[in-house]
Amino acid sequence: MSSSYLARQGSTIGKRAMGGAKEPSKATESPPPTIGDIQAALGKRLDDVAKILAGALVAVAGIMTTLGLNSKFVFVALNNRAWPIYVASLCAIISIVCSIAALLIRPTGRGVLWETGVLVLGVIFYMASLSIAVVGAAQAAGGNGRPTITDVRLEGPSSGMRLHFGVHADGVQKWSHIEVSVNPKKPSGNEGADLYWSVLRPDDQGKVAQQIDIPISPPAGTSVIAVGAVNSDESSPGACEAKTQHGPACTELHIS
């Protein structure tokens, strides 16, 4: 055989070998997630939300502390207007119950739906507890506009007596005022004309803090000097011993 024939045969065999070679198969693709996998992943996310809601009371307390609502202001709030604190606590407890119930639900098809509904309900109560705690406690801790009379003193001789006292009130509405009056009383119980009368307006924070120092000359026969302070929008004058949260403040000084 000639060398040219052998070369042609080798070329033909090489082409056949190349033509018959198969390309390597592509990497096997991962199978699509099943419904069970999707439900399990969704259930895990819902469980994370439930764990967050489980700290509802801690979150409410943290928000109140951040805003400066410490134990002192909380006690003031409970004394003046307790229902926001109680409602906020109840909402937080319901939120915790919803979160615990959601954690106990199995992540099946129907279970995921139930878990979602329970957590939505828990989120609603969670947000309600935060809102009521912040707004309600802030308003209640600011005071209720009830005045108090402090540091009452009657000094000096009969010919030049001076009456000194302080008036304090928190949470007075900006359009409201505190009326202060000083009246003489005789042994018969009759009241004379006002020895002093004034209207005190609150500052921008709703606070009234006034120290009053006035000369006083009670008429003859006066045995008692009555000092009164009342929030005109909350109560009526004269109801000093009325069992009401917004009653006036009254003080009497007995003189000889």
pLDDT tens column, 100-125: 787 777 767 787 788 788 888 888 88
pLDDT tens column, 151-204: 999 888 877 889 999 999 887 888 888 999 998 887 776 676 788 999 999 888
Arithmetic mean of pLDDT, 10-37: 54
Q: What is the DSSP string of the chain?
A: --HHHHHHHHHHHHHHHHHHPPPPPPPPPPPPPPHHHHHHHHHHHHHHHHHHHTTHHHHHHHHHHHTT--HHHHHHHHHH--HHHHHHHHHHHHHHHHHHHHHHS--SHHHHHHHHHHHHHHHHHHHHHHHHHHHHHHHHHT--S--EEEEEEEES-GGGEEEEEEEEESS--TT--EEEEEEEE-TTS-B-S-SEEEEE---TTS-EEEEEEEEE-PPTT--EEEEEEEETTT--TT-TT---TTPPEEEEEE--
Mean pLDDT rounded to a whole number for the chain: 74
pLDDT tens column, 144-165: 788 999 999 988 887 788 999 9
